[in-house]
Amino acid sequence: MIIELKQKFSQYKLFWKIQRLYKLIKFEIAKGYYLLKEFAVKISSMLAFIFNMFKNSLPYFVLPISIALLTQSLEAPLRPWFVNNGWIVLKDTDYSTLVATVTSISGLFIGLYYTAITSISGAIYTKLPQSLRQLLFNESIGKNYLRYLVFFTFLGILFLTQYVLGYRVNPINVPIITVLAGFAVFAFYQLGVRVLSLFEPTELSTEIFKNIHKSVKNVIPGNNNWKVPEFQKHEQSKVQSWLESIDALATLSSSERHLSGKVFLKFVDQITRFLCWYEFNKDKVPRNSEWFESKLEHPDWYKSNDSVTNRAFQFGQILQPKIVRDYRWLENELSKVLLTCLKTNLNSKNYDFAHGTLNYIKLYVEVISKKGDIAWSLKVIEKTASIATTHINLVCKKDTDQNENLTRLCDEIAGLPINSFLAFRQGLELRDGLKISDFVKKKEWRRSNFIYEIPLSENTIKKLEWLSERLVFEYQIENKYITPDWYILGEVSREEELSFIKNINLFANEVGKLYQSWVANLIAARRFWLASTCIIREKEFWSKFSYQRSELSDYQSSLLAHKNNEAQWSNFELDNIFDVVEKRLNTIQDINEVVLKGLLPYSRPASLPDYHGFLLHSLGESVFEALINNDLGKVGKLYRTYVWVSFYKFSELISEKYKHTWQIENQVRIASAALVDLFDLTGYAIVISKFNKNKRLELFIQSIWEQYFNQEQSRFSQVLSTVNYFDSFPGIGNRWDHRFNWKNTINLKLSSEIDTKEIAMSKHYFDTEKVKLHDDPIVRLFARNPRDFNREGIDAFVTTILIPKLSSEDERLVNVRRDLRNDILREKEKYDKYIKSVSDAE
């Protein structure tokens, strides 16, 4: 019916006009409704905005009103006192001008601050993330100052309003407004300095680390909601956003030249101080906390349990991944900034700032090691060394390694393992068996943060968390702890011993590999100055490691004292580690020889350490040690090099030019000390070879000197002159103490290992003398008490090597006491007499 009517009326124009008018009215009604709805939304939004503004500014709205009402209410009661003391504000005074002026200035300060912040944001912060720009506008000092200005401005408006409305002015309003205005002016000066410093974006890092500090403290036991996983995750997410800002600051500092020096170093200082604080406070966070980043780790099929793999295969599934916590997620990100700063300053050859960065890295490595995480410490060292190696390779492509800056850089890198070990050794005192025992005896397991009181290893903390849950359950059920203290103490000590073993093995093996790779690569690249630095530092590391043997053993014993189950404890022997150390120290002696040979062609500038002298001294000590140990192979390998390098050192020292005679004489005396060491050691080598009846060693030494003298005729005269010149100086010669130690060691060895016999020299009972029972007279002489025979190795050298070659009257000794031939003759006669007395007695 309706359709038929539509068809009928559709033939008339009036129908279409009415339909169009209907649609137009409908559209206008819908339009009006939409506009009304939008208007309502805007009004609602505006009211919400006003409400939020009022809510946020309520303290700064209510407080000025309260002060204005308080001063006005006190005006009448205090009026007599004001009149008596002359505190009266008359109607025709400039009170209104004063209040209006300071109020307008306060508003001007607000405008100037926002203008400055907007300018800084447009000039510097446009490329930085939104979080950092937001931090700029919410900068705490400026934000608090603006709140103060808002409060002060509104208070001035209220005072002015009271005056306009005709209220009697309280005289105390004037000093109030004056003091507040003065503070606003002085604070604006401080804020201006602060705003100018914001042209360096790293200034905002203080606010960033303040927020990160707060987040860390929020997830430590004892704080509100610390147990709630969602809250832990929320705090971690907040820190992640701050890390983006830190990364942006680091990128900006490394790319902008004016920020890569002191500014970047100041930023690194803040990061390092936070990392050191976090290293010890992080362990107060439970290991299962959502604060730590979680990763999925998929298990190996063939390493998994059969029941697990069978079930997975039956349902056509892969093995379910395990959640693994990354306990170093925050340090991983922040340590990158330290390394970036080092790399940036090295690339720009700002070595002073690079060394400053290395000092911060060293501080962080020491804190890590003191805590006991040597694996992470070595990772930081490796990353640092990698950056330094890249820089050294780039510089040495165009220049020599005989560079003061590179040497210092290499020395600081090679010293990091030493700092790490010494800090680790120091940290052991904080967690030895006695400290752990005192900790367990407290029995405060119900306190949420009790198990985090002392700095223990990662696995020990996990064990304590596992134990504390069960101990708390025991107390809730039995109203007392059931598990005995000796069991808890044993479990904690066992975990600490395992951590100790792991760390000691890392030092002995991984640090050894680090040094070996550094030295080997530098020697292969023929960078002998840098190789000298590394090999010297390595020897220092192993020497200090060996020196701490008793302390390390005592620490292990303090833990083993709480052993209660033999099967669960390791059978680790600390002596095996020190065997590795001794082997490496012996290897270093051979490497010293290689490095020393490589250094010989180069003269040393005064700005570089005397590696020639140090390595020559070390080489001499190695030869002497080999003699004492009767290590013929090592003596044969090292002695020849020691001879040639000693003469080289003499030539180097003697070549320096001086004007005055006394300077030249002193120079010759110093230079001759290197050769006198050689002569002294050679004499002792001859004595030891005779003592051990090692004719091969004696002939080897004599052949080296024969070869040396035969190459040039003047060499014998040079050696003889050196001995005579050395003897001509009064007093104790250079390096006398060093040679005196050799003398005492030789005398102690011979006197203790050679039997002594007391014989009668005549028929009188008291006329006796002690005889050393050895076939060689020189050995018997040097085995005697120093009070009876006070001679040195150089005397044996002169007697056996030089005197047989004296061929003319011009070639003579200044000090005839160097000649031992008469002493040898008398010793032979005495020994023959002893032999005769023995044969007669038989």
Per-residue CA distances from 115 to 109, 112, 138, 196, 203 (Å): 10, 5, 15, 12, 19
| Residues comprising the chain, all counted | 842
Cα-Cα-Cα-Cα dihedral sign, residues 151, 157, 161, 164: positive
User: In this predicted model, what pLDDT tens digit does every residue of 377-423 receive, in sequence order?
Assistant: 999 999 999 999 999 988 888 777 678 888 899 999 999 999 999 99
* Sequence-ordered list of residues with C-beta below 8 angstroms from that of 309, at least 6 positions apart, any chain: 301, 319
Residues 802 and 783 in one domain: yes
Domain C-terminal end among 496, 511, 537: 496
Angle at 555 between CA 552 and CA 558, to 5 degrees: 150
Query: Average of pLDDT values for 370-377?
Result: 91
SS3 659: coil
User: In this predicted model, what pLDDT tens digit does every residue of 623-656 receive, in sequence order?
Assistant: 998 888 888 888 888 888 888 888 888 887 776 6
CB 483 within 8 A of CB 470: yes
Residues 71 and 189 in one domain: yes
Residues 777 and 717 in one domain: yes
* Strands, E assignment, 431-477: none
Angle at 511 between CA 515 and CA 599, to 5 degrees: 15
Six-digit token pair at 784?
Answer: 């005697």
Is 610 domain-assigned?
Answer: no
User: In this predicted model, what pLDDT tens digit does every residue of 774-829 receive, in sequence order?
Assistant: 888 888 888 887 776 778 888 889 889 888 888 766 677 777 778 888 888 888 88
Residues 81 and 204 in one domain: no
Query: Range with the lowest mean pLDDT among 147-161, 216-230, 498-512?
Result: 147-161
Domain C-terminal end among 172, 197, 222: 197
pLDDT score at 538: 92
* pLDDT band at residue 86 under the 50/70/90 scheme: low
- By C-alpha distance, which of 834, 815, 814, 818 is closest to 826? 834
Domain C-terminal end among 26, 54, 82: 54
Six-digit token pair at 842?
Answer: 């038989």
Angle, nearest 10°, between helix axes 351-371 and 329-347? 160
pLDDT score at 183: 75
Residues 328 and 459 in one domain: no
pLDDT score at 386: 93
pLDDT score at 637: 85
Look up tokens 């009257």; give the residue: 809
Q: In this model, does residue 303 exceed pLDDT 70?
A: yes
In the chain, the amino acid numbered 334 is L
User: In this predicted model, what pLDDT tens digit does every residue of 9-38 receive, in sequence order?
Assistant: 667 777 777 778 878 887 788 778 777 877
Per-residue CA distances from 580 to 504, 576, 577, 588 (Å): 12, 7, 5, 12
The whole-angstrom separation of Cα 343 and Cα 388 is 8
Six-digit token pair at 708?
Answer: 């040396």
The whole-angstrom separation of Cα 681 and Cα 623 is 8
Which residue intervals of 692-809 are DSSP H helices?
A: 695-711, 714-728, 736-753, 777-782, 793-797
pLDDT score at 661: 59
Is 114 domain-assigned?
Answer: yes
Q: In this model, does residue 748 exceed pLDDT 80?
A: yes
Percent over 90 (pLDDT), the chain: 13
The whole-angstrom separation of Cα 395 and Cα 526 is 14
Mean pLDDT (the chain, rounded): 80
Three-state SS string over 259-328 comes to HCCHHHHHHHHHHHHHHHHHHHHHHHCCCCCCCCEEEEECCCHHHCCHHHHHHHHHCCCCCCCEEEEECC
Q: In this model, does residue 129 exceed pLDDT 70?
A: no
Query: Average of pLDDT values for 260-276?
Result: 84
User: In this predicted model, what pLDDT tens digit does every residue of 325-335 receive, in sequence order?
Assistant: 888 888 999 99
Query: Average of pLDDT values for 116-123?
Result: 59
Of all helices (H) and strands (E), which one includes residue 577? helix 574-599
Tell how many helices (H) and how many strands (E) occur in the chain: 32, 4
CB 531 within 8 A of CB 522: yes
290: phi > 0 → left, psi -120 to 50 → alpha, else beta; which?
Answer: alpha
SS3 760: strand
The whole-angstrom separation of Cα 641 and Cα 612 is 13
Six-digit token pair at 763?
Answer: 């028929």
Six-digit token pair at 327?
Answer: 């306990």
Q: Domain of residue 333: give its range.
A: 200-298+322-348
Q: In this model, does residue 746 exceed pLDDT 70?
A: yes
- By C-alpha distance, which of 465, 461, 436, 471 is closest to 560? 436
* pLDDT band at residue 233 under the 50/70/90 scheme: confident
Residues 272 and 185 in one domain: no
The whole-angstrom separation of Cα 436 and Cα 8 is 104
pLDDT score at 421: 94
DSSP state of 563: -
pLDDT score at 768: 64
Percent over 70 (pLDDT), the chain: 83
pLDDT score at 728: 75
Report the domain count for the chain: 5
Is 501 domain-assigned?
Answer: no
How many C-beta neighbours within 10 Å does residue 262 have? 14
Is 228 domain-assigned?
Answer: yes
Per-residue CA distances from 194 to 117, 189, 191, 201 (Å): 11, 9, 5, 12
Q: Which of the pair, 141 or 405, is modelled with greater confidence?
A: 405
pLDDT score at 47: 62
The tally of CA atoms less than 13 A away on the side-chain side of residue 818 is: 25
Q: In this model, does residue 267 exceed pLDDT 80?
A: yes
* Sequence-ordered list of residues with C-beta below 8 angstroms from that of 784, at least 6 positions apart, any chain: 751, 770, 772
CB 449 within 8 A of CB 461: no
Q: Which residues pair with 324 in a beta bridge?
A: 295
Residues 225 and 294 in one domain: yes
DSSP state of 167: P
* pLDDT band at residue 50 under the 50/70/90 scheme: low
The tally of CA atoms less than 13 A away on the side-chain side of residue 231 is: 13
How many C-beta neighbours within 10 Å does residue 257 have? 9
Six-digit token pair at 318?
Answer: 């892969």
CB 106 within 8 A of CB 159: no
Per-residue CA distances from 181 to 153, 172, 177, 668 (Å): 10, 14, 6, 79
pLDDT score at 142: 65
pLDDT score at 388: 92
State the pTM of this model.
Answer: 0.77
Q: In this model, does residue 91 exceed pLDDT 70?
A: no
pLDDT score at 43: 73
The whole-angstrom separation of Cα 328 and Cα 325 is 9
The whole-angstrom separation of Cα 176 and Cα 163 is 15
Residues 189 and 264 in one domain: no
Residues 63 and 151 in one domain: yes
Is 464 domain-assigned?
Answer: yes
Radius of gyration for the chain, computed over Cα atoms and rounded to the nearest angstrom: 44
Is 230 domain-assigned?
Answer: yes
Is 638 domain-assigned?
Answer: no
pLDDT score at 542: 92
pLDDT score at 518: 92
Q: Which of the pair, 684 or 569, is modelled with greater confidence?
A: 684
Residues 49 and 106 in one domain: no
Residues 743 and 783 in one domain: yes
User: In this predicted model, what pLDDT tens digit does every residue of 706-718 receive, in sequence order?
Assistant: 888 888 878 888 8
The whole-angstrom separation of Cα 105 and Cα 632 is 92
Is 304 domain-assigned?
Answer: no
pLDDT score at 42: 74
SS3 435: helix
* Sequence-ordered list of residues with C-beta below 8 angstroms from that of 715, at least 6 positions apart, any chain: 708, 709
Residues 224 and 332 in one domain: yes
